[in-house]
Amino acid sequence: MRVVLDSLGIHKAAAMYETFPAREARRILEKLDFHYTPKHGSLLKMAEIELSVYERTLPEFTPDDQKLAHEVQALTSERNNKRAAIDWRF
């Protein structure tokens, strides 16, 4: 199984040994294939940034699914029309 992770220090195979007994951790790790995203330019980071825009912009709670879908679509259209882009700064 491939596991895609960002490059945080907590995402290490050793964490399995902290969570499970050694034999179980080893059994699980034999089935996993870790792939780390680049520290600069990660697609996961881009998705996190974009989702944070939606989180900050949309109302905290929308009881009606159709209204929420409409608000998300409106925000998406607005961002697409503005050609909003992520400005990487390191």
Contacts of 57 (CB under 8 A, 6+ apart): 75
Q: Supply the pLDDT for residue 48.
A: 83
Taking the complete model, does pTM exceed 0.85, yes or no?
Answer: no
> What's the pLDDT at 23?
96
The pLDDT assigned to 7 comes to 65
Q: What is the structure's pLDDT at 66? A: 92
> pLDDT means per 10 residues in the chain (90 residues)?
73 85 95 80 76 89 90 93 79
Rounded to whole angstroms, how far apart are CA atoms 8 and 80?
30
Give the integer Cα–Cα distance in Å for 45 and 41: 7
Query: Would you state the pLDDT for residue 10?
Result: 60
